[in-house]
Every structure is written in structure tokens, then in C-alpha cells.
Amino acid sequence: MPREKSEFDSKLVDLARVTRVSAGGRRFRFRAVVIAGDRKSRVGVGVAKGADVAKAMEKATRRAVKNLVTVPMAQDTIPHEVEATFGASHVLLKPQKKGRGLVAGGVMRIIAEKAGLKNISAKTISKSRNKLNNALATLKALQKLRAQGKETAPQPLQESDAAKEEHADA
């Protein structure tokens, strides 16, 4: 029975051979980092290990689809500027005007493409070249986004606001 085509598009971004040393010698496995998205505002990152490359990729793809994040979008871009860190990786995402295009490099570009973002500027502020941490920092930044028009938690009163309310009551 042929498998049906998934609605998610996935891409392998990092593949590493990892080693576990035991009394019997070294055991090699493969770690795969996969980014999956539907190009309609949902994207996820999956990390998995397997005895061979194919198994690691398959497991990572399943985990990426399982850990999807919905990105609030405003006309093919993000609603506001956002920053996030993960480990030593520090990323900055900025919205762009229509027609500006996707200005991003490395893993951030792949994540933006898989999420369906067409006009965005993304920058790695740190000097970290670790693809996994950069991907997770970008995902963390996208999770921080709030859609325009949605109510956020009320802000605590500032001293000047409290003073104004006291004078209004008097």
C-alpha cells in the first residue's frame, strides 16, 4: 500500500555521527536535525538519533511534525520585531515591507520558508554557528510572537499612572 504524501515539506539541516563509548568499544549512531512546515504558518524542528541515516531522518521528521508551532502572520511577514536566545545562539527577527523578500541565512532562512514567511529579515546576533541551537532559537522567537489585534496581559501600573489615578479620585 503506497504511503500518502504528507502535507508537510521537510528538509534535513544537520546530520552528525555521534559516538557512545562502552566497555566493548565505540558505538556509532547518527543524529539528524529536520525542519518541517506546511508553508501556511506552521513549522517545527525535530531532532532524533538512529542506527543509520534513514532511520534518524525518519524519526526526526516525525518529531518535527509533532512539535509544530503556529506563526502569527501579517501579510506574509511577522507582526512585530522579536529576539530570542537558546544556548549561545541569539537571533533577531524583523518584519519587512511587501516585496522586500526573505533576508535571512542558514537555518533561519529554511525555517522562514517552511513557515510561509515571504518578507522578513533575520539575523544571528551571536557568533554561534551551531545549526541546532540557531534553529531552536529561531523557533523560540517565533513562539514569542503575538498576533495583531489580540489582547495581551494587562501591564502593571507605573508610578506616574498610579499618581494620575489618585489625583482623579480626589
Query: For residue 147, what pLDDT band results from cuts at 50, 70 and 90?
Result: confident
Task: Enumerate domains of the chain plus CATH numbers.
Answer: 9-68 (3.30.160.20), 71-144 (3.30.230.10)
pLDDT tens digit sequence for 55-81: 999 999 999 999 999 999 988 999 999
Looking at residue 12, what is its pLDDT? Answer: 97
Selection from 57, 48, 77, 53 nearest residue 11 by Cα: 57
Would you say residue 158 has pLDDT above 60? no
78 in Cβ contact with 122 (< 8 Å): no
Looking at residue 68, what is its pLDDT? Answer: 94
Instruction: Please give the Cα distance from 97 to 141 (Å, whole number).
Output: 20
Looking at residue 63, what is its pLDDT? Answer: 97
Mean pLDDT of 129-157: 80
Alpha carbon 28 to its chain's center: 29
Mean pLDDT of 43-59: 97
**Separation in Å, CA 116 to CA 17, 75, 104, 105:** 31, 11, 14, 15
Would you say residue 157 has pLDDT above 70? no
